[in-house]
Chain A
Amino acid sequence: MKYVDEFRQKDLAHKLSDEIKKQVDPSRTYNIMEFCGGHTHAIFRYGVQDLMPDNVNFVHGPGCPVCVLPIPRIDNAIELAENPDIILCTYGDMMRVPASKKKSLIKAKALGADIRMVYSTQDALQLARDHPHKQIVFFAIGFETTTPPTAVAIHQAQAEDLDNFTVFCNHVITPAAIQHILNSPEVRELGSVSIDAFLGPSHVSSIIGSQPYHYFAEEFQKPVVITGFEPLDVMQATLMLIEQINEGRFEVENQYKRVVTKEGNLKAQSLVSNVFEMRRKFEWRGLGDVPYSALAIREKYAKFDAEKRFTITKSTGRDVKGCECPSILRGVKIPTDCKLFGTVCTPENPQGSCMVSSEGSCAAYWSYGRFRLDKPKSLKKKKVTEKSAA
């Protein structure tokens, strides 16, 4: 497959692996946070960790759009879907994310709510055209990559005068979240999470460019290498980060030059700023309220804003007791630190969002089996109990 196979070549992977092993300083560890779920997925799916020396660790960040949405927003979506006048359109991964009271969109659907899985905003628009007597609500989630298509849909809906199409907007902003993680006490003061460097987002950066990362590379003195989602991209970027760390540099480098420019996609940016404005704050699962980290629909497009068109009850839903998704999303814990992992929480019965999406850390740990090598803590504890009981 052209343009894909080139980035998955085994011989090149081994060459890069040898080079990384040559470059690393054996007296230290390298903790590299990959912000994006896409990177997490690639690392697990292709077994990238196997090609790394023991002292290079990947810390999985919060960049999975499904994982970071807090429970109250999913409760809101279910409430909208339960309105018999509404057809709620959502991307597939959202269907199984647990909300409060053991609900989820897929369970709401089984009980009669009209919820359609769509592949793009265009599908949702088409539903609005096809069902003029129904209200079509598009459950918009995602980082900067998925925001422009939502903006296009709102423009189209206005041009066509579709008065039965609205967007429940949950679009979030990447740099704000990275900065929030770096500002968190665990990283800054307590040092309980050590992050030495970042693999920067790939698709997100194609929209926003490499510019927005310069501030925190400098402020927090952490190197960033923007990289693609293919396994060779990840390996090359890791090598670049190790070189920066060894040389004491903290720059923003762009390994993903075939897609990402410094300025990004200006047309998409202007489209987004025409339709959306910053929310003063937005709750992220795991990060809590993060200032200026999400978008709302501007007043001039209020008729397409589901939050303004429909009454939505304020939800106080909270994470399942014991679920460590919040800490996992901050990189403070790994999935096997959670006592629900693999016991009550599996991809079939997810208790937290990280177990749902293939980009979520827990699902990746479970599906691709990293946990079997990491000696889960809960297993160790169990052995101790058995011994003491004997």
Chain B
Amino acid sequence: MNKMSKRFPMRLNIRNGHVDMTHGSGGRAMAQLIEELFVKHFDNELLRQGNDQALFSGSGKRLVMSTDGHVVSPLFFPGGDIGSLSVHGTINDVAMSGAKPLYLTAGFILEEGFALADLDKIAESMAKAAKTAGVPIITGDTKVVEKGKCDGVFITTTGLGEVPDGLDISGSNAKPGDAIIVSGFMGDHGVAIMSSRENLQFETQIVSDSAALHGLIKDMVEAVPQINCLRDPTRGGLATTLNEIAQQSSVGMKLFEDDIPVRKEVSAACELLGLDVLYVANEGKLIAICPAEYADLLLQTMHKHELGKHAAKIGSVLEDDMGFITMETGFGGNRIVDWLAGEQLPRIC
């Protein structure tokens, strides 16, 4: 074994270390925190599935559960707010197993002094998002902390869903030869958030892509039940999510930069801010990996749905137990697409 195949070269310093912002950025630092601290204590068979949701059986059904905390800043942004985001985020995590989301729960941590009018707006937005998605919020919890102990409102949602028979979708199922497909333009959410940050305001028409994807996924799995992986490229963006899958499935990937759909305005904003769009967050997009022979059918199906009409094949899965992802650049050279190191954007979802 050579040194590059070790996942984390240095162990987490639990005795003397402290949580810093990189532990929440969705990159390798967070993966290490989860693996060496949380998994160490919680380890069980279901957790070891290592997906954004856990699949288990109950009452003879295949069920999935997922939970997601939302701490976005600012609370209201072009194209959404923390309320709609907290509904979409968890519905998507449940649906990425191919499941039909059934119910949601919501936990609120509120800061003393937070305006009730804003809280009302957020609750209204959550209710609307849940109603549109057809997934009711059926129970919840409310806590208040002293001023300064949180930033306005933090929301944690949990979702339950049921997986139709015949599906086997997991981050560990990518196979050499499979096609890699994304459902649309990359980076909209992250750029929309950046544009509304207090110290960074710039004028843009870009709005967050925050959306519930279970409708699109239903059409996809009906047309192509052979889909191997589904995952939403949220924090850490496309690059980090693909690296997670490559790691979980012990495969490599080859991408083509020219085939990755990115809006002109988003590339321009990334250019201006010095960001790499591959690492910018999305909240209404998915990555689908399926056997190459089904790629065209899957793309045709996606193109018929409003949330998949800009879907594109961006590359293929290769045999490589080191989990490297390479990309032919638009310029004609090659580069490695690594995990996000550190953080590109603080608190984006």
Residues of A at the B interface (CB closer than 8 Å) are 1, 4, 8, 10, 13-14, 17, 44-51, 96, 106-107, 109-111, 117-119, 123, 126, 231, 342-349, 363, 366-369, 372, 378-379, 382
Contact = CB atoms under 8 A, between A and B. Distances in A.
B330 to A, nearest CB: 6
Chain B interface size band reads: 35 or more
Given A8-B331, A47-B329, A96-B342, 19 more contacts: A1-B267, A45-B329, A46-B329, A48-B333, A106-B20, A107-B20, A110-B18, A111-B18, A231-B333, A344-B10, A346-B10, A346-B28, A347-B28, A347-B342, A348-B27, A348-B29, A348-B32, A367-B341, A369-B335
B60 interface: no
B336 A372 contact: yes
B3 interface: yes
B41 interface: no
Contacts of B32: 348
B21 interface: yes
30 contacts: A4-B267, A8-B330, A13-B331, A44-B335, A45-B329, A45-B335, A47-B329, A47-B331, A47-B334, A47-B335, A48-B333, A49-B333, A96-B22, A109-B21, A110-B18, A110-B19, A118-B199, A123-B199, A126-B199, A342-B3, A345-B9, A347-B342, A349-B9, A368-B336, A368-B338, A369-B324, A369-B326, A369-B336, A372-B4, A379-B2
B324 A347 contact: no
Contacts of B342: 96, 347-348
B143 interface: no
A378 B199 CA distance: 45
B268 interface: yes
A50 B20 contact: no
B264 interface: yes
Contacts of B336: 367-369, 372
Interface string B33-45: 0000000000000
A348 B28 contact: yes
B4 A342 contact: yes
Contacts, number: 110
A369 B27 contact: no
B205 to A, nearest CB: 15
Contacts of A378: 3
Given A47-B334, A48-B333, A346-B9, A119 B200 contact: yes
Contacts of A346: 9-10, 28, 341
A282 B174 CA distance: 53
Contact of A349 (B10, B21, B326, B329): B10
Contacts of B8: 348
Contacts of B166: none
Interface of B: 2-4, 8-10, 18-22, 27-29, 32, 199-200, 264, 267-268, 271, 276, 324, 326, 328-336, 338, 341-342, 346
A106 B21 contact: yes
Nearest to A14: B332
Nearest to A373: B334
Contacts of B330: 8, 10, 46
B333 A110 contact: no
A10 B331 contact: yes
In the A-B complex, the 7 residue pairs with the closest CB atoms: A47-B333, A369-B336, A347-B341, A50-B333, A46-B331, A110-B20, A110-B18
A44 B267 CA distance: 19
Given A110-B20, A379-B2, A367 B338 contact: yes
A1 B335 contact: no
Contacts of A126: 199
Contacts of B27: 348
Nearest to A106: B20
Contacts of A46: 329-331, 333, 335
A50 B334 contact: yes
B328 to A, nearest CB: 8
Contacts of A347: 28, 341-342
Nearest to B21: A106
